[in-house]
Chains A and B, each alone.
Chain A
Amino acid sequence: MENKLEKLLHGKKVEILEKWEDTILSSFSPDAYHIFKKQKDPFANPIGHKVRTGLAELYDVLCEPSNKEILTPDLTQLIKMRAVQQVSAADAVSFIFKLKGIVRKELLKKGMAELYIEWLAFDARIDAAALVIFDMFMASKEQVYQVRVNEFQHGRHMITGSICPSALVRRNNQEAIAAEAGDAPDGQNVPVINDTCGVKPQVLQF
C-alpha cells in the first residue's frame, strides 16, 4: 500500500521531474540548454530526449518500492550519453543525489517534515540506485574501450596486410566447426571480429 510520501511523489511527479531535468540540462551552455529544454521532437533533440525519458523511468522506479527488479533501458541510454561526455565521473552521475534536495524542497511545503521514516526509506532507495548507476556508468566506459579495441584490431589487420579479414572469418568458422566436433582449438589467439561487446540489460535491484 502506498504511504503518504509515495502518494505525494506521484502527485508532484511533473514538477519534480521538470526541476530534475534542469540539473542535467543546465550543465550545458545557456544556448544549448534553451534548445535541449524546449525542443520536444526526440530526433531533433536526442540529449533532451534521453534526459527526459531516462529520468522519468528512474523516478518511477524510485517511487515504486514494491518492484524489486526493473529493466531500465531509457536510463541506460541516459548513462551511456553521460559516459561519453567531457565530464568527470562525479559530474556524470551526480544527478541522482540532486533528486533528494528537489524532493525535499517540493514536499516540505506540504508539511511532510515529520515523516522522517518514510524519508529515510526514500533516501536509501536513492543511495542504492546511485550505486547501480555508477556501475552502469562504468559499464558504458568499458564498452567505449572495447569499441576502440575492436576498431584497432580491424585497423591492425588492415595496416599489416598480413591477414585478410575474409580469411580470418573463414578461419574462425573452421575453428567453430572444429570446436563443435569436439576437436581442441589449435591454441592460436584469434580475435573475434564480430564481437559486438553489448552491455547486458541493466537492472535496478533493491
Chain B
Amino acid sequence: MAIPKAAQLGVSVVREPSLMTGSIPKKDWMDVPAIFKEGNFCYPAKKSMVEYHKFPNPREWSPDQEDWKLPDGWEDIILNGLKERLDKFRSLKIFMDICVRCGACADKCHFFLGTGDPKNMPVLRAELLRSVYRNDFTTAGKLLGKLAGGRPMTVGVLKEWFMYSYQCTECRRCSVFCPYGIDTAEITMMMRELLHLVGVGTNWILEPAANSNRTGNHMGLQPHTLKENVEYLCDDIETITGIRITPTWNRKGAEILFITPSADVFAEPGIYTAMGYLLLFEHIGLDYTWSTYSSEGGNFGLFTNNEMMKKLNAKMYAESKRLGVKWILGGECGHMWRVLHQYMDTMNGPADHLEVPKSPITGTVFENAASTKMVHISEFTADLIKNNKLKLDPMRNAHRIPTYHDSCNPARAMGLLDEPRYILDHVVPKWYEMPENTIREKTFCCGSGTGLNTGEIMELRMRSGLPRANAVKHVVDKFNVNMLSCVCAIDRATLSALMEYWNPTVGVCGLSEMVGNALIMDGEKERETGLRFEPLEGMEG
C-alpha cells in the first residue's frame, strides 16, 4: 500500500461535521491544539511527589485547566534542556537530523492504529520535538521558521508534548520498520525528560519511582510485608503440592541474587508466576536469595529521566555486591530488561564484583550476559529443559490453550524470542502463534506500558491495545485459545484488563506459572489443581 508522505501527514483531526461539536477542523497539524478532557490524560504528579524527587516546580495543577502554572522563563528552561541533551546524547542529535519522513513507521504504532490520531504516527509524534529543534537549533529553521518545518516553543507545543509523549509506550515497534533505525522511544523519553524540567509529569510514574527509591519496590512494600506475601504464596504451594518451600532473604554468600517485579509478589496474576519461580528453584535446589532492598525489577526511572533510571537501577549491583553473590537472575519483567540490556552496563557497570553467569545445574555459561552478569529466567529455564534437568508433565496445563505475547522490551530490546517458545513447547500440550506481523520483533504492545497502566485513561488503553487484542481474537476464533502467556509484569496486569474488554474468555499468565504447573516435584502429593486452585483436567479429586 502507498505510504503517506510528509506533506500528506496530518491535515485535520475530524473531517466530517461532528454531531458533538458541529465543527470541521481542516487545519494543518501544527495548528490543531491538544485538548485535555477527563479520560484522555494521566493524572498529574502530586505536589508531594515532585517535592520528594526534588524536581522543579512542585504545585497543584491539572492538564485540563488553562493555566499549567509553569515557572517563569520556562521556554528557556526547555530550550536549554534540549541543548544540553543534544550535546550529551549523540543519538538524539542524529535522530533529530536524519529522519527523511519516509512514512515507513506511520502505520506501525498501536496508538495510531487504535486511535486514528495522526499525531500518534511515530514520525509525526517525533515532529512535535523536531519542529522545535529545527526552529532553534538549525540554520534553516532559524532563518525560515515554519517554511523549514520549524516552530517556536509555546504553551500549545508543550501541551502537545505532554499529550503525545504519554500516548507512546516506548515499545519501539516503529523502530523495527525505520530504515535509519531511529529509536522513536528515545525521542519520547527526551520529551518526558524535558517536561519534568518545568514540573510536568504524571503521578502514576513519580509515585512508584518514589516508592522504589524509598523502600525498594513500586508499591512501597516494607521488608516484612514482602516476605510475608511470599510466605502466603508458599502456603498455597504447600496446599497444592504438599511441598513446603522456605526461600531465604538478604542472605549473604548465596550464589545467585533473584530480582523480579514486585507485582509478582502481590498482584494477580503475577503471584502465580512467582509461585512458578519458587517451585522451579526448589526443584533444582538452587542456591539463591531474594532481596528486600532490591525488591523491584521494574524501573519507572526509565519513564522519567536518565538520572532517575540510573539511580533506581543502581540498587541491583549494589545489593549483589553487598550480598557477595556470583551473578543475578532476573524474573519475568518487561522494561527491566530494556534498562538492563541497553543502559545498565554503561550507567552502573562494569559489574566487576560479579562473575560471568554460569548455571550451577547445567554448567552452561551465559556468554550473552558476560558483561551485565544478569540472566533472564526464560534463558535459564530453557537451558534447564534443554539439558533434561526438569521433570515436566505438560498435561497439567492441558486445560489451557495458550498463545504467546512477545512482551515488547524482552523481544525488541534484548532479542528474547525463541527461549519462551521453547519453554512453551515443553510445558503445555498445545499452543498457537498469533499472526506473523504481530509477534516476535513485530509484536504489538499491550498498550499500557511506560506508566500508562492507570485507570483514568481506560478507554485510551482499550484503543491502544486494540491491535494486540485483535490478533488474540484471531487465535481465539481459530484455535479456541484461552490463555495469553507473556513475560512481563505490566503485561500481566494490563493485558488482563484488555482481555476482559476485547476477549473475555481469555486469561493472562506468566510463562513460569505454566512451568510451575508442569513441574513434577520430588515427594509431591497428587496434584488436583493448578497454581490458581483451578481443577486440572482428568485429575479432579
Across the interface, name the chain B residue whose C-beta is closest to A164: B232
A147 / chain B contacts, CB cutoff of 8 Å: 458, 462, 497, 500-501
A27 / chain B contacts, CB cutoff of 8 Å: 14-16, 18
With A152-B455, A154-B267 as contacts: A41 and B12 at CB distance below 8 Å? no
The interface residues of chain A, by DSSP majority, are classed as: helix
Interface size of B in residues (CB-CB distance below 8 Å)? 66
From B11, B229, B235, B466, give the contact of A81 (CB < 8 A). Answer: B466
Report A58 CB to chain B, min CB distance, Å.
18
Say whether B147 faces chain A, with CB atoms less than 8 Å apart. Answer: no
The residue in B9, B115, B233 that gathers the most chain A C-beta atoms within 10 A of its C-beta is B115
Q: A18-56: contact bitstring with B at CB < 8 Å (1 yes, 0 no)?
A: 000000001111111111101101111111011000000
Say whether B121 faces chain A, with CB atoms less than 8 Å apart. Answer: yes
With A43-B467, A86-B40, A147-B458 as contacts: A32 and B117 at CB distance below 8 Å? yes
B12 / chain A contacts, CB cutoff of 8 Å: 29-30
Contacts of B486-510 to chain A: CB distance below 8 A: 493, 496-497, 499-502, 504-505
Say whether A188 faces chain B, with CB atoms less than 8 Å apart. Answer: no
Say whether A84 faces chain B, with CB atoms less than 8 Å apart. Answer: yes
Complex contact A87–B462 (CB within 8 A): no
Number of A-B residue pairs having CB atoms within 8 Å of each other in the complex: 170
Docked pose: A85 CA to B473 CA in angstroms:
19
Contacts of B432-482 to chain A: CB distance below 8 A: 435, 437-438, 455, 458-460, 462-463, 466-467, 470-471, 473-474
With A32-B118, A144-B462, A198-B505 as contacts: A49 and B470 at CB distance below 8 Å? yes
Complex contact B466–A150 (CB within 8 A): no
Tell which of A63-71, A99-107, A167-175 binds the partner.
Answer: A167-175
Contacts of B338-364 to chain A: CB distance below 8 A: none
A165 / chain B contacts, CB cutoff of 8 Å: 266-268, 271
Interface size of A in residues (CB-CB distance below 8 Å)? 60
Tell which of B78-86, B106-114, B375-383, B519-527 binds the partner.
Answer: B106-114
Say whether B2 faces chain A, with CB atoms less than 8 Å apart. Answer: yes
Complex contact A29–B118 (CB within 8 A): yes
Say whether B154 faces chain A, with CB atoms less than 8 Å apart. Answer: no
Complex contact A31–B459 (CB within 8 A): no
Complex contact B8–A166 (CB within 8 A): no
A88 / chain B contacts, CB cutoff of 8 Å: 18-20
What are 15 A-B contacts defined by CB distance under 8 Å? Answer: A27-B15, A29-B10, A31-B9, A31-B10, A32-B112, A36-B116, A90-B19, A90-B20, A144-B458, A148-B455, A154-B268, A161-B221, A166-B235, A169-B532, A196-B505
With A85-B463, A87-B18, A159-B219 already in contact, 10 other A-B pairs whose C-beta atoms are closer than 8 Å: A27-B14, A28-B15, A29-B118, A32-B118, A34-B4, A43-B438, A46-B467, A85-B115, A165-B267, A169-B268
State the 8 A-B residue pairs at the shortest beta-carbon distance, nearest first: A198-B504, A32-B116, A28-B116, A46-B470, A88-B20, A84-B462, A84-B459, A90-B19
